[in-house]
Each structure stands twice: as structure tokens, then as C-alpha cells.
Amino acid sequence: MVSTPAPADPARLHGADSEVGRLQTVMLHRPGLELKRLTPRNNDRLLFDGVPWVSRAQDEHDAFAAALRERDVEVLYLTELLTETFAEAEARHEAITKALESLHLGDTLRGYLTGLLHDASPEELTTYLTAGIRNDEVGGGFGLVTSLLDSHDFLIDPLPNLLFTRDSSVWVRDHVAVTSLAMPARSRETHLTELIYTRHPRFVGTPQIHGWHHEHVEGGDVLLLAPGVIAVGVGERTTPAGAERLARQVFHAGLAHTVLAVPIAQERATMHLDTVCTMVDVDKVVMYPNVAHQLQAWAVTLVGSADTNDDTDLELHVADAEPFLVAAAKAMQIDTLHQIDTGLDPVTAEREQWDDGNNTLALAPRVAVAYERNDETNDRLEESGIEVVKIAGSELGSGRGGPRCMSCPISRAPLGS
């Protein structure tokens, strides 16, 4: 049964102006059938470092959601929002057209799949679009393409990285930025988040910035350091041009006064800024010690007025690079942005960074969710006065993401005005 979407509630305010204001509403994705698509042949392409035990991953994820609910966080599930969005015929049509645009289908198969998806219920459509469809699963559309493709080839790719809801959208104050994902295995995710934010009754009318048609920016690279100050990692995923576009868009919409572009190594282990640095208090970050002293930042600010027709008309000022913590403190107008010194030896630090020890999700200032396995990082956080809410992640972690990656904060109590 499709639950009838709640009517739009104009009084319900969404948005976040920091990483640490009390978390009120979050979007998660409970891992499902799409993870069962991972095999040793496709896991690299689909950006997983192994083949997870799906039912255990679901248990771990349910415990994560329960830990959030226990602290009064409203948990929304991406697939439920999507199914509710599909109550509307136009939304279904848009999603189906986009999913079948791929040039590897051919007209015969595309025609068949169009019919199949249009006949599907909203729940089934959600499953098709998230878990994908394999060549051996279709009972029609036979022709040259189905005959020549391997039976295991996907006609619609599964989206196992939906688990990492952080990356496909980011709230900046009351606006939502639909991002533009860099890896082909993930690009379709943002079609779904865009649809939710555009058409789900809960979000209709939410002002949007960026979008999948823009230069690459991934949510894991975006840190709301303080109201008006945004750090953007630039590396394997977010491009320099993506950081510039985001700066233009947030300045144009009056959402920030400074964007710090922070180069990070273009490697799998540090694919996003939040794999090496997350905030645990209004003036404290936990940072991977092996890079902490090397991170630099270029502060981007607006010259003149934001009152132009288009963000492309804005003039930007780019300051000389400075150490990240120095540039951040200046922009945040605080004396010091403290780095919690995990003081780990480089090997332990490298192991715990790989297992997302630095990827914490703040529930409020000084309260953060972390994977339990990173004993030493967690001990240091606790010694520094941070309450660590520990969750299991042996299976969830095989996609290389921790509590921050697995959550998209939709509402946090504001820190600024």
C-alpha cells in the first residue's frame, strides 16, 4: 500500500546552517535489494570494497536509525519519499523517461521497459529504479540488444551507493542543493533526489540550488562550518569548477559569505572532505592526523553585490591559500578552530581513517555518532569531552562510508540568525 503523502505544511521549516546544530530531521536509505546486486565482478565499478552481507547491513542500519530516533531525530527514508512522490503520474513519467535515456538500450528494449515501468505500482517502480533491472530478468523486449548483452548485464544499473544519502543533496539554510555526482555509478542518484525535492508534497516549493546538470560537487565534500561559512573539498569528486559554481550559487542566493576551497588527495581513501574532517562542536573538528597539518584552504568571497540576474555575473575574490584551520577560524570569526588531536600513531590513524573514524555525524554540539570499531579515535574524542554514540558498521562500512556519509540532515536547529 502506498501511504498517502501528508499535505504540504508551509509551517514546517527545513534546513541547516551548521554541522552541529541539534539534528531534527534526517534522510537515510535503508540498504536493500540494490546491495544484493554486488558481485566480485562489479563491486569496484559500483564503488564498494567488498560484497556485503546484506541482512547484517540492514540490522546495523536499523540500529543506526534507532539510535537517532532515541535522540528525537525524525528519520525519513529515501525510498519511502520516492514511493510517495510516485503517487503523482507526472513524477512517474519523468523518472521513467530519465532512467531509460541510456544509449545502451536501443528502441526495442526501451519500448518494452517503458511499458513495464509504467505498469508498475509506485513501490515496484521505486524498486526497479533503485535495485536496477538485469537482462535476464526481463520477459520481453527481445531483439538484438537483449540477445547480445550478457545475461548479467544491467539494463538499469542498481544504485548501491544510495546508502550514502549525504552525497546526493545538501541543505544550506532553507535551500537544498541537488548535487552533481562525479562517478558514473552514482550520477543517477541525483535524478531521484531532485524528483523528491521538486515533487514530494513535503518539499514542494523548496528553493533549489546547483543541480545534476552543473559542474561536479558531492555532498561529502561540503561542510557547513558555521552559518555563512562553507568548506568544499576539491579532489576525486568535487572539481575546482564545481567548488566555484557552488560558491556562485550560495552567494547569489545569499546563503553564505565565504566558501573555503580545500584540496584533498585524489584517492579512494580520501574521496570526500568528510573522510578526513568532520565537526563535533561549534569550534571543534576531528581530523585525520596524517593530513591535518597539510590541509590548505582558498577563501572565496563575493566582490560587490549579489544582486545580478545570474550567478555567472558575480565577481569572486580568491584569497591566497592558508592553512585550513587558520582560514576557517578567520571566516568563522572565532579565535581558533580546534582540531581534536587523536594523537594516533600513523598506522593506527591510517587504519581508522579507512574505516571512517573521522566520519562522524553530530547530533548536537559535542554529541556525535561514530563507528564503534575505531576504538582509539573514539577514546580520544571522549577524552576531549565529546559524547560518542557508537554504532556497528562492519557490513555498512564496506561501501567506504560512515555515519556522516549515511545521513542527509534535512533540519537542524539553527545556530545563526
Ligand X SMILES: NC(=[NH2+])NCCC[C@H](N)C(=O)O
Beta-carbon count within 10 A of 263 CB: 18
- Tell me: does residue 28 bind ligand X (CB under 6 A): no
Of 246-254, 272-280, 299-307, 362-370, the window that binds ligand X (rule: CB under 6 A) is 272-280
Closest C-alpha among 263, 178, 203 to residue 82: 203
* 180, burial (CB in 10 Å: exposed 0-12, middle 13-18, buried 19+): buried
- Tell me: does residue 230 bind ligand X (CB under 6 A): no
Rule CB under 6 A: choose which of 232, 247, 253, 405 binds ligand X.
405
For the chain, what's the residue count? 417
Cβ–Cβ under 8 Å, residues 95 and 125:
yes
Half-sphere exposure of 200 (CA within 13 A, CB side): 21
Of 162-170, 308-316, 370-378, 389-397, the window that binds ligand X (rule: CB under 6 A) is 162-170
- Tell me: does residue 300 bind ligand X (CB under 6 A): no
Rule CB under 6 A: choose which of 17, 274, 281, 395 binds ligand X.
274
Q: How many residues bind ligand X (CB under 6 A)?
A: 15
- Tell me: does residue 171 bind ligand X (CB under 6 A): no
Rule CB under 6 A: choose which of 169, 190, 275, 378 binds ligand X.
275
Beta-carbon count within 10 A of 58 CB: 17
Cβ–Cβ under 8 Å, residues 20 and 279:
yes
Strand blocks (E) in 70-165: 74-77, 133-134, 154-156
Closer to ligand X by Cβ: residue 253 or 295 = 295
Which of 243, 405, 406, 410 is an active site residue? Answer: 405
Closer to ligand X by Cβ: residue 37 or 186 = 186
- Tell me: does residue 396 bind ligand X (CB under 6 A): no
Closest C-alpha among 233, 226, 355 to residue 279: 226
Cell numbers at residue 288, please?
A: 585525520
- Tell me: does residue 284 bind ligand X (CB under 6 A): no
DSSP state of 255: -
- Tell me: does residue 32 bind ligand X (CB under 6 A): no
Active site residue 405: yes
- What does the alpha-carbon distance between residue 16 and residue 315 come to, in Å, rounded to a whole number? 26
Strand blocks (E) in 181-235: 208-210, 222-226, 229-234
Cell numbers at residue 201, please?
A: 508534497
Closer to ligand X by Cβ: residue 79 or 275 = 275
Rule CB under 6 A: choose which of 29, 61, 134, 166 binds ligand X.
166
Rule CB under 6 A: choose which of 167, 194, 283, 311 binds ligand X.
167
- Tell me: does residue 399 bind ligand X (CB under 6 A): yes
- What does the alpha-carbon distance between residue 221 and residue 277 come to, in Å, rounded to a whole number? 10
Q: How far is the CB of 402 from ligand X (least distance, A)?
A: 7
Cell numbers at residue 114, please?
A: 517503458
- Tell me: does residue 47 bind ligand X (CB under 6 A): yes
Rule CB under 6 A: choose which of 401, 410, 411, 412 binds ligand X.
401
Task: Give ∠ CA 208-214-215 in degrees, rounded to 5.
Answer: 130
Of 96-104, 108-116, 277-285, 394-402, the window that binds ligand X (rule: CB under 6 A) is 394-402
Rule CB under 6 A: choose which of 24, 79, 161, 360 binds ligand X.
161
- Tell me: does residue 369 bind ligand X (CB under 6 A): no
Give residues in contact with ligand X (CB under 6 A).
47, 161, 164, 166-167, 186, 220, 271-272, 274-275, 399-401, 405
Active site residues: 405
